[in-house]
Amino acid sequence: MYWMSRESQKSLKDLEIVGENESDIIVRTANSAFVYGYEYLGIPEKLVQTPLTDRTYLTLTQALHMRLGGNPFGPAGTGKTETVKALGNQLGRFVLVFNCDEQFDFTAMGRIFVGLCQVGAWGCFDEFNRLQARILSAVSEQILTIQTALIKKSSTVELLNKTIPMSPDVGIFVTMNPGYAGRSELPDNLKHLLREIAMVVPDRQRIAEVTLFAQGFQFGEMISRQIVTLFELCQSQMTSQPHYDFGLRSMKSVLRSAGKLKKSAMLENRDAVDDPQKLLVLEQQLIIKSISSTLLPKLVSTDVPLLSTLFQGVFPQVPFEALSDSLVEEQVRLICKRNNLEATAQWLDKTLQLFEIQKLNHGIMLVGSTGTGKTTVRKTLLEAMDIIQGTRTTSYVIDPKTIDKESLFGKLNPVTLEWTDGVFTAILRKIINSSDSLSGDQAVGTGGGKKYWIIFDGDVDPEWAENLNSVLDDNKLLTLPNGERLELPPWVRVVFEVHSLATATLATVSRCGMIWFNDDTISDDMYFTSFLFNKIKMGNHSGGLASKSGSSAGVTKPKIGDAVLDQTADSGGDSNPASVEDLDSAGIGGDAGSSGA
């Protein structure tokens, strides 16, 4: 009987990289070995190693060794796709991510497989079970053909009635979120071709600890426990809302924000480095500020006091400081005064929250009832940012409920295989081809150039919104059924202005920064006051109205900074347009917010 120590078993899970000879590097794990692929794609952000990651690596490498595919499945935000990409990076393989939907038919999938087989890349098909059941059955035959060729070590394979070269390095992986509406059950013959691995509960404590240490925090172990505790308390004690997400993606947003704050804080507080107690308080303050900028905007009014209480319990003796940016706030007030709008403290908070969120997330959701100031917050902030940064921002407003899915994303002619862009793809393609866009660093900084905001003004329906999942996450890619991949530039933001997220899935919600607008953000008095000021400014008033505006009309002239009006009632209109940029191919206009540029 062969006996193996626990240490030896643990070492088998590790990826061991050795130089076999002058030309080959071998990556070994357990009883499998792979030749390093030398696909260098830069230095990506490293995935934090956890027991779940090690188990997934072992399962996927064993599947590759047996010429099978891999099937990580689990809830949104558990690291399924990122783990596949990280393993590919470890083995020097090029990993292509495709976001599947009902438009991917047998031929479209076949063309992707043909490309993967020829170049020896890995294909990771996100939300694979969104394909129709009949397509899944047909795709299983294609995957079986590829795996049979790999087992036989054949140099060619027949796909789509064509004989093509076959690379032995090809890999096929699928990820799934079971339990959501519109998902298909994998047929049994397909399940046998894919090694399943459940990814349910990531080790948030270790992920937070390693991330904090990597960003320069000296007390990462202690602070990571506090962060995880706070998120668990938020999950259990706060009210249940469809737009709430306290999972791993939300926590990673906090950690990213904390890392940026840490870099700037160390330059301003060099003396704190020598005093451990001061340094601990400083790092905890940075975490509180980071959590406030990411979690506080999404909370409904009844949960805001609870967050302050949780701060006091988890971070005792550390003062809570509200968000502030004097430069942005000053510019916003000037714009409001010029446009006969009044900025209350609550409305200004939402403007500053959007300013912080757009620096951290390229996908943003503004959630609240009609007439709560969502559109005005967006337009006013963009105008202020253009003045401060010297940029020009163009906003494209789309009403997704007025067009069908094909008109929104495009369609592929099954006979001619000719692709026709939809509204969103045409806008994105035009932005990508724009010659006067910003560089990546300028997208969130200063300097001349153009920025773009694409706004979906309407309810988030999974029928079309889940096509954007790969755009909203770290991949930033829109994958089309014709095999084309459109990369979202860093100077583009995708914004959803919605009344409710009752129909949205967690897979979409967790990928976006969130701002909640309470019903009392805008009052009827604010509407009436701003209406009178606009009438007075335009000269469309009688002398009696002007003289009685402070008495019989029941209106007194408020101080600047008391109220604000969203005249467009979140309909996407613009009361002070600076420019309009037409997109003839999509039949939609650009609502520019660049009047201050």
Residues 370 and 227 in one domain: no
Query: Cα(357)–Cα(354) distance, rounded to whole angstroms?
Result: 5
The pairing of beta strand 477-479 with beta strand 392-398: unpaired
Contact indicator for 530, 563 with CB cutoff of 8 Å: yes
Q: Which of 306, 328, 211, 298 is nearest to 262 (CA)?
A: 211
3-state helix, strand, coil in the chain (%, to 5): 45, 15, 40
CATH code of residue 277: 1.10.8.710
Per-residue confidence (pLDDT) for residue 491, from 0 to 100:
92
Query: Cα(410)–Cα(481) distance, rounded to whole angstroms?
Result: 9
The number of folded domains in the chain is 3
- The answer to whether the Cα torsion of 160, 162, 163, 164 is positive or negative is negative
Per-residue confidence (pLDDT) for residue 10, from 0 to 100:
59
Q: Confirm whether 496 is domain-assigned.
A: yes
Query: Cα(328)–Cα(572) distance, rounded to whole angstroms?
Result: 23
221 φ, ψ (degrees, to nearest 5): -65, -45
Helix, coil or strand: residue 466? helix
Alpha-carbon distances, residue 172 vs 77, 249, 517, 567 (angstroms):
21, 25, 43, 52
Residues 574 and 438 in one domain: yes
Q: Confirm whether 351 is domain-assigned.
A: yes
Residues 215 and 156 in one domain: no
Per-residue confidence (pLDDT) for residue 539, from 0 to 100:
67
Query: Cα(551)–Cα(543) distance, rounded to whole angstroms?
Result: 14
Q: Confirm whether 59 is domain-assigned.
A: yes
* Residue segments in the chain with a per-residue pLDDT below the cut of 50: 1-4, 436-438, 440-447, 541-590, 592-597
Residues 494 and 391 in one domain: yes
Query: Cα(365)–Cα(374) distance, rounded to whole angstroms?
Result: 10
Residues 356 and 250 in one domain: no
Per-residue confidence (pLDDT) for residue 98, from 0 to 100:
92
Side chain identity at residue 558, one-letter code: P
Six token digits for residue 366: 């503004």
Give the largest CA-CA distance in the chain.
104
Strand partners, 71: 196
Q: Which of 253, 281, 314 is the last residue of a domain?
A: 314
Residues 92 and 177 in one domain: yes
Q: 3-28 pLDDT, tens per residue? A: 445 555 555 667 888 887 777 888 98
Residues 344 and 493 in one domain: yes
Residues 177 and 261 in one domain: no
Strand partners, 17: 27
b/e per residue, 350-375, with b = 16+ CB within 10 A?
bbbbbbbbbebbbbbbbbbeebbbbb
Q: Which of 150, 172, 198 is the last residue of a domain?
A: 198
49 contacts: CB under 8 Å, gap ≥ 6 = 210
Residues 183 and 75 in one domain: yes
13 contacts: CB under 8 Å, gap ≥ 6 = 29, 30, 54, 55, 57, 58
Per-residue confidence (pLDDT) for residue 430, from 0 to 100:
93
Give the count of beta carbons closer than 10 Å to the beta carbon of residue 112: 21
Count H helices, E strands: the chain? 21, 21
Six token digits for residue 39: 């696909």
DSSP 147: H
Residues 79 and 209 in one domain: no
CA dihedral 149, 150, 155, 158 (to 10 degrees): 30
Six token digits for residue 218: 């000296």
**pTM metric for this prediction:** 0.81
Residues 266 and 224 in one domain: yes
In degrees, to the nearest 5, what angle opens at C-alpha 561 toward C-alphas 558 and 562? 50
Q: Confirm whether 386 is domain-assigned.
A: yes
Contact indicator for 561, 350 with CB cutoff of 8 Å: no
Alpha-carbon distances, residue 273 vs 92, 213, 270, 372 (angstroms):
39, 15, 6, 44
Contact indicator for 353, 428 with CB cutoff of 8 Å: no
The residue length of the chain stands at: 597
**Residue-range definition of the domain harbouring residue 511:** 339-522+564-592
Q: Confirm whether 533 is domain-assigned.
A: no
Q: Confirm whether 296 is domain-assigned.
A: yes
Residues 194 and 223 in one domain: no
CATH code of residue 111: 3.40.50.300
Side chain identity at residue 413, one-letter code: N
Q: Which of 281, 314, 347 is the last residue of a domain?
A: 314
Q: Confirm whether 529 is domain-assigned.
A: no
Q: Confirm whether 47 is domain-assigned.
A: yes
Helix, coil or strand: residue 522? coil
Helix, coil or strand: residue 407? helix
Q: 454-465 pLDDT, tens per residue? A: 999 998 998 899
Contact indicator for 40, 92 with CB cutoff of 8 Å: yes
Element (H, E) at 329: helix 326-338
